[in-house]
Each structure stands twice: as structure tokens, then as C-alpha cells.
Amino acid sequence: MSARQKTGTQKKTHNGTRTQTKRYRQQRFENHMALVSVFLVVICLAIAFGVKGRELKAKNLEYQIKQDALDESLAEESRRSDELSEKETYVKTKEYVEKVAKEKLGLVNRNEILIKPNQ
């Protein structure tokens, strides 16, 4: 073979190597871009979940405060209901009827004597 043929062959090989190197670099660049894109998507999702998580925690705290207030109100109303039940039972007794008759109507029992203070 002549020197020219060897040089031509070397150029082809050299061009082939350049093409392979260029392809390799392009693929590597595409892989890096894909990796960066995936990384950015993951970062965006993390930010979105973080923001939503904070909003949910704030809403949860607000609901917890409301629930505590309602529990307190329920306990107060339950106590009031118990007091009214006791009063209802007391109102039905003979003792209560006599007390009201004496205080409001000025009545006395048959065997009692009414003494009025001097004025």
C-alpha cells in the first residue's frame, strides 16, 4: 500500500473517532439534561408538597382550636343540663312547693303560727 492510502485510511479512522466522540458527547449531554430535568421535577414536587404540608398543618391547628372550644362548650352545656335536671327533680318535691307557697304567697301550714316583726 502506498502512503496515500494509509493516510486516507487514517483520516477515515480519525473522522470515525471524531464522530464517535461527538456522538458520545451528545449522548452524555442528553443524559445530563435528562438528569437535570428529573432533578428539577423532584425539587418542584418537594416544594409543592412542603407548601401543601404547611397549609394542612395550619388548617389542622385551626380545626384543633375550634374543636377544643367546642369541647369546652359541650362540657359547660352538659354541666348546665345536669343542674337543670337536678332543679327539675327538686321542683317536683313537696319541700319546694311549701317553700314557694311561704315565700311568694305568704301561706303557712295549719299547725304554724305567723309572727310578724314590729315596724
pTM greater than the 0.75 cutoff: no
| 107 in Cβ contact with 101 (< 8 Å) | yes
Q: Residues 56, 59, 61, 67: is their CA dihedral positive or negative?
A: negative
Rounded distance between C-alpha atoms, residue 52 and residue 50, angstroms:
5
- Residue 9, pLDDT > 90, answer no
Residue found under cell 435528562: 34
73-91: pLDDT as tens digits: 999 999 999 999 999 999 9
13-34: pLDDT as tens digits: 456 688 888 888 899 999 999 9
The arithmetic mean of pLDDT across residues 55-75, rounded, is: 97
The radius of gyration of the chain from alpha carbons, rounded to an integer in Å, stands at 48
- Residue 106, pLDDT > 70, answer yes
pLDDT at 14: 56
Maximum pairwise Cα distance, the chain: 154
Domains of the chain, residue spans: 3-105
